[in-house]
Amino acid sequence: MEPLLVTKTYALPPVNLSEVWRYAGVTTPDDALSALLEECLLEAEPQLAPKVCYGEFPFSCEGDNLCFGFATVASADLKQALQGCQKVILFGATIGIGMDRLIAKYGSLSPTKALLFQALGAERIEALCDCFCKEFALSRRFSPGYGDLPLSFQKDLFRVLDCSRKIGLTLNDSLLMSPSKSVTAIAGTTDEGCVTSPCDRCNKKDCSFRRNL
């Protein structure tokens, strides 16, 4: 039986400004930069179109091989992330193409604004994923390219979730997504509830984008 795929739209929570500054690499923003970010927030808001497509899938393990029915992938890190989970939900999420257009628009007009739109886009897609995981009480999400999970597994996720038709999310031959501010991921349900940070079990402690845990 084919899994039931669902598409949802979301109203995002207020922007976490400290996260935007972190993504932008700004430690202490001055008044001028803060004012510029406020301009970006006003311009970006009507361009956002948060959507998620998802489905529930069975999974089983044989050693480090995880079988999801539609594909099998070897990943010790993903196996660890799914320990104790009763089921698995695969999802694709995007905030739409509008942010990419703003980044492209200001690439030459105002590189500083382009940087702020990049950072804002990163914060908004993370907020969308967090909303989704909290709603379904999911464990930490795990995306292709994390740890030892091959980036090529992205192709399988796109195929089974039908991301292009469901939410307008496409994948090119270099495995880059469009819109760029998008995520595909695997998450499990646990009795312990949701863990939203994708950094909680990552071993790269010196990553400049690591969230404060």
Give per-residue pLDDT as tens, 159-189.
999 999 999 999 999 999 999 999 999 999 8
Strands 65-67 and 177-178: unpaired
Question: Does the pLDDT at position 193 exceed 70?
Answer: no
Task: State how far the Cα of 160 lies from the Cα of 158, in Å rounded to an integer.
Answer: 6
Question: Does the pLDDT at position 198 exceed 50?
Answer: no
Percent of the chain with pLDDT over 70: 88
What average pLDDT does range 5-15 have in this prediction?
Answer: 96
Question: Does the pLDDT at position 197 exceed 70?
Answer: no
Residue-level pLDDT at 32: 97
- Nearest Cα neighbor of 201 from 22, 80, 86, 88 is 80
- Computed over every residue of the chain, the mean pLDDT equals 90
Residue-level pLDDT at 86: 77
Residue-level pLDDT at 205: 54
At residue 143 the predicted structure's pLDDT band, cuts being 50, 70 and 90, is very high
CATH number 3.40.109.40 is the correct assignment for the domain at 5-189: yes
Q: Is the pTM of this model over 0.85?
A: yes
Question: Does the pLDDT at position 199 exceed 70?
Answer: no
- Nearest Cα neighbor of 169 from 94, 79, 57 is 94
Query: What contacts 211, CB < 8 A, 6 or more positions away?
Result: 197, 198, 199
Residue-level pLDDT at 28: 96
pLDDT digits (tens, 9 = 90+) for 76-133: 999 999 988 878 999 999 999 999 999 999 999 999 999 999 999 999 999 999 999 9
Tokens of 143: 């995306």
Which is more confidently placed, 200 or 8? 8
Residue-level pLDDT at 139: 83
Residue-level pLDDT at 213: 44
Residue-level pLDDT at 196: 45
Cβ atoms of residues 36 and 113 within 8 Å: yes
